[in-house]
Every structure is written in structure tokens, then in C-alpha cells.
Structure 1
């Protein structure tokens, strides 16, 4: 898979930005385990050795997770590959900060954030690009800062050609095993602290992995 996946992902989410925002606007209200995970993450940010500070929601989409973190007392801001998604996020959450950027070349300074969350935004990143992405996550996190990853659990990938509102898309959706993602995290210099499986008997299970950047 070439770097074309970035262009395909950007174009696809530009196309579905408005309809996707409508779909997920109240999604967290029906997801108690996800809300609990975000609550734990917020608590870790407030108690981390990294100290209180800005928190990056990378792959923020229309900003619903960024906004939820804000209600939990976290100084969250969003970064997304899709300019249209960022426009929608700014429209729906005018009091919060959003910027266009790629997680493969994260436009944030070294050790500039107190925490980082990537909520189902790694699912379109091919395996060979994941180490680069996690390297950027570690680079921008302050020592002691927590990381929260959410992703689809399973094996293999599929090409998604139609999305929210029936609009055309071209993105690969990757399912991964938690132990595989945890291994990548350790290779990138993170210590994995907790794992939560969500709906493991369902058709599309998910996982939350909590990790931290040490001083090493």
C-alpha cells in the first residue's frame, strides 16, 4: 500500500464530513464503556507527572470526542487529516481548537501535550505506517503523559467504498488484535497499563488500550 492511502482517506472524509457528523453527534450517549474509558483518560491526564496541559485528539473527525473531553475538564484540541471535518468541528464546537494535520507527520512540537487520544483513527493506517505514527505520538507527549487508543478488534482489512449517507469512499478499514497493537506501543517506547475489550462477542468488537510515555 502506497502513500495514496492518505489522499484517499482525506478525500473520503471530506466527502462524508457533514453526514458523518450527524451520525456521531450523540453517539457517546449510548456508549457507557467508551465514556468510562474517556473518563479514566481524563483522570490520568489530571494526575500525570506530565502535569496539566493541552491534550491532543488526533483524528478528531467532527470533534465530538474533543468536546466530551472538554466537559471532563481536559484542555482538549483536535487534529484531523480532513479539512472538511475540521470545518464541521469548528462549526459545531466554536469554543474549541481544531487544526488540519496528518498523524504521519504530526504538526505539534516535541513534548508539547500532556495527553493524547486516538479514538478509532488508526483504523485506516496501514501496518507499515503505524510505527511512524506511534513515534510521533511519543515525540509530542510529555514524559509521563497518558495515551489512549481505540480501535476495531479482529483480523484482516476490507475496502470501504460507500459510507455515511451513501456517499462514495475509498478507505481500508483494518481490524487488529490488542496484543499486536500493544506490541507496537512497546516497540515505540510506551508502557501499556490497561486494556478494555468492548462487545467481544459482537460483530464488530473494539478495544481501548491505555499506555504511558516514560522518561526512557
Structure 2
């Protein structure tokens, strides 16, 4: 039986964070249709500090922030440095260890499990393609709708125009190592409004920045609330 994806994800994060490692073999993702995608640039971004695009993305957050699939914690750590109350959730112990080293406050938790202060968060983040978690973006956004307060935001990073919506299975690979398959979804900026509407959220903005695509979704406020 191949190792769990979380095990190879941990190895990938550790290799990316080792500057003196001798030319490690590159990591990639393969989907069920046979397409492969290099993870080299993504791993470098995930394990680094927030860049200017990240900072502009985070500037749109309002109130307290829950970072779903926080990974090594660069976004939660950046928010903490700004004095924002932020919490990251992830299922990888290795990612959480790296996140704590960066100064982020994080817990080991799936987004589909109960989280502290459900229904009270000002903003939920789904960055770095995390809209694909679980392979059902409508179900994921419905869950985020429960997590944020009425009138709260769900800030999402999507793929670019033409990507639409596609559900698949992925596995991690590197030089003879392969993980087990896991469910994932690809969501483009052209599909996010339809998916959000199905989850009870309203698209309030979408934008491109530095070759990355984002959307801001809002949970409807309580009628009559101030």
C-alpha cells in the first residue's frame, strides 16, 4: 500500500525547508487522468514568507480570520504580525510544526470537523488552491458559510479563466515514491460565482494579481440586523 498523501506532503515540506539539501529530486502532483504538475514553485511559496500578492489578499480580510488548510502558516503568521487574531487549521502535523515556528497560531483539525467559534469568524481563507479540498467545492463553501458570521467573508484563491470546475483525484510523486490518491477539485474564476451561489454565498468581487486569481464571497447578513 502506498504511503498516505499527508506523509509525502510532510516530506515535501521538509525538503523545501532544507536550504543545504543536495539537489533534491523534484516533487510533482499527478491527477487521475495522467497529467502532472510540478510542485517546485508552490513548495517554495508555501514554506516562505508572505509576498506582496499575499499581503494584498490578506488586506481584504475583516475581523478575526480562520485560515483553512494553512500548511506551513505563512498567511496566518503574516496576519499575526499585523495584530490580527488569526487561527490556522490543517491536518498535517509537519505543516503545523513549521507554522508554529513561523509564529502562527494553529491547530490540527479538518475543516469538516467542529472548530472554535463557529459562526463568529469575520473571514475564512481558502488560499493556494484549497477550494479543491475534498473534491466538492460546494460542500466546502457551505461549511465555510457556517464558520463565518453573518455578513462575513470567504476569501478564495481560484485558477484562471477557462478552468471551469473539474473534480479529480491526485497523488504526490517523486523519483519512485508515490502517495495514495486523494480527492480534489479544480475551480476557475469563471466557475466560482455559480458554486458560491449554490453554497449560499454571494460573489462580491473577483480579481487577478501577480498571475494569481482570487474571489471574495460574503455570507448574507441577518435580515434587519444593524
TM (norm. structure 1) is 0.73
Q: How well do the aligned residues superpose, as a CA RMSD in angstroms?
A: 2.9
> Where in structure 2 are the equivalents of 1:113-192 lying within 5 Å?
113-120=121-128, 121-126=130-135, 129-153=136-160, 154=163, 159-162=170-173, 168-169=178-179, 174-192=185-203
Out of 13, 16, 29, the residue aligned to residue 12 of structure 2 is: 16
- Which is higher, the Rg of structure 1 or of structure 2? 2
Aligned to 1:81: 91
Q: Name the structure where strand makes up a greater proportion of residues.
A: 2
Alignment: residue pair count: 188
Aligned equivalents of 2:193, 2:114: Cα separation in 1: 21
Aligned to 1:215: 221
Q: Is the 8 A contact 2:76 2:105 kept in 1?
A: no
Structure 1 outlier segments of 4+, above 6 Å? none
Aligned to 2:60: 40
Gap regions ≥5 residues in structure 1: 1-6, 46-51, 200-204
Q: Is the 8 A contact 2:8 2:172 kept in 1?
A: no
Aligned equivalents of 1:133, 1:9: Cα separation in 2: 20
Q: Name the structure where helix makes up a greater proportion of residues.
A: 1
TM (norm. structure 2) is 0.70
CA distance change for structure 1 residues 166 and 181 in 2, over 3 Å: closer, same or farther? farther
Gap regions ≥5 residues in structure 2: 19-43
